[in-house]
């Protein structure tokens, strides 16, 4: 058994060793105004070079960064994008895409900047800028959702805000980095953006995803409370369907149980009390219908008891208890009177 185990683990040990060796061998691209771009920091650094025509790629990259340092950002942008387009598999392509996106962002070309960062993440997922890019994409998404206007050609503001694009960008962040600290932040921002846009169901969905996928996030308490309030906003009153009321009660109760020390607990307690009162009142009103309009004492009792169970210590529960006493009296009188007499109409029953 020992030999089998040793043989079985050998490939894993080899793979782990290989990956560690590759990580150590990987070179970083470094720029200095004296030497231009060069690879350093890995045992393979002397071997790292752009793909065929590599000297041209390196020359273009050096020209681009030199232009950027001199303040000629338009020339730098054009050169960076040339590197990425002409030498897409070059070691310099990812860096060129990143720097081009940075320049686009400086010009408030939010759409093209986000897409540029997305190209880096998609085509060069091992980039050293990954975490920084996710943060920058989050900044772009939230800036747009807050009402910023994209600029055409880096000069002319668009005549309209692009909030929906901001929401779409936040969803992309969730795909790019679902385990990052930005993921729950993106979901909360999506919820706010959808609420502002008049899309309450989409807002609820974002909040539900936040509490389901990131229950340990510092944003989870706020998400529970916002979700409860969102359902409470849907409640039309005791005379209507109580599906939204029950959902609001569920989230208020979950918030109260899971976050007993949260400073918003009094607000949640009030919301819970209001929803339970509406639910109980709805039961009483339906019970009244069966009692007063249909003389259906059994159905009335069931509903009055449900009202008491829904909110035992409320004024509504007191009304329900009074109604139960009235039902007992009415039922006793009905039994004493016996079955109703048949009435004659023109010689007919």
d(CA 118, CA 124): 10
d(CA 186, CA 173): 7
Going through the chain in order, the beta strands assigned E by DSSP cover 28-32, 36-40, 151-152, 156-157
Per mean pLDDT, which range of 8-17, 270-279, 281-290 is the poorest? 8-17
Give percent above pLDDT 70 in the chain.
82
Residue 202 is predicted with a pLDDT of: 97
pTM: 0.79
Provide the pLDDT confidence category of residue 326 given band limits of 50, 70 and 90.
very high
Task: Tell me the mean pLDDT in the region 220-249.
Answer: 96
Of residues 17 and 322, the one with the higher pLDDT is 322
Mean pLDDT of the chain: 87
**For residue 49, is pLDDT > 70?**
no
pLDDT tens across 65-74, in order? 999 999 999 9
Q: What are the chain's domains? A: 29-106 (no CATH), 107-217 (1.25.40.10)
Mean pLDDT of 116-123: 97
Write down the pLDDT at residue 281: 96
**Confidence (pLDDT) at 1:** 43
Let me know: does 228 contact 248? Beta carbons within 8 Å: yes
DSSP letter (8 states) at residue 46? G
- Over the stretch 125-178, which tens digit does the pLDDT of each residue have? 999 999 999 999 999 999 999 999 999 877 778 888 899 999 999 999 999 999
Mean pLDDT lowest among 169-173, 187-191, 344-348: 344-348
How far, CA to CA in Å, does 167 sit from each of 163, 193, 206? 6, 7, 11
pLDDT at residue 42 tops 50: no
């Amino acid at each position: 058994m020992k030999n089998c185990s040793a043989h079985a683990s050998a490939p894993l040990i080899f793979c782990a060793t290989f990956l560690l060796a590759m990580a150590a061998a990987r070179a970083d691209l470094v720029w200095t105004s004296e030497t231009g771009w060069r690879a350093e920091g890995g045992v393979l650094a002397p071997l790292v070079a752009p793909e065929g025509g590599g000297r041209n790629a390196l020359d273009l990259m050096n020209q681009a960064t030199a232009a950027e340092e001199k303040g000629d950002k338009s020339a730098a942008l054009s050169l960076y994008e040339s590197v990425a387009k002409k030498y897409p598999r070059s070691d310099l392509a990812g860096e060129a895409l990143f720097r081009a996106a940075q320049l686009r962002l400086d010009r408030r070309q939010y759409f093209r900047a986000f897409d540029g960062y997305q190209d880096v993440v998609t085509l060069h997922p091992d980039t050293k800028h990954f975490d920084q890019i996710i943060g920058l994409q989050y900044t772009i998404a939230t800036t747009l959702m807050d009402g910023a206007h994209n600029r055409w050609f880096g000069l002319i503001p668009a005549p309209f805000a692009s909030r929906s694009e901001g929401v779409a960008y936040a969803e992309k962040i969730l795909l790019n980095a679902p385990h990052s600290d930005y993921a729950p932040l993106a979901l909360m921002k999506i919820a706010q953006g959808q609420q502002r846009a008049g899309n309450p169901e989409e807002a609820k969905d974002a909040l539900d995803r936040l509490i389901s996928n990131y229950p340990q996030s510092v944003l989870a308490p706020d998400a529970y409370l916002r979700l409860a309030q969102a359902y409470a906003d849907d409640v039309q009153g005791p005379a209507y369907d109580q599906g939204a009321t029950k959902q609001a009660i569920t989230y208020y109760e979950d918030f109260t149980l899971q976050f007993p020390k949260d400073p918003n607990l009094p607000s949640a307690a009030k919301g819970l009390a209001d929803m339970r009162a509406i639910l109980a009142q709805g039961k009483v009103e339906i019970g009244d219908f069966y009692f007063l309009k249909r003389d259906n004492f059994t159905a009335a009792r069931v509903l009055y008891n449900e009202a008491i169970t829904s909110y035992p210590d409320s004024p509504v529960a007191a009304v329900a208890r009074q109604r139960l006493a009235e039902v007992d009296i009415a039922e006793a009188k009905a039994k004493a009177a016996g079955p109703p007499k048949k009435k004659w109409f023109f010689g007919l029953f």
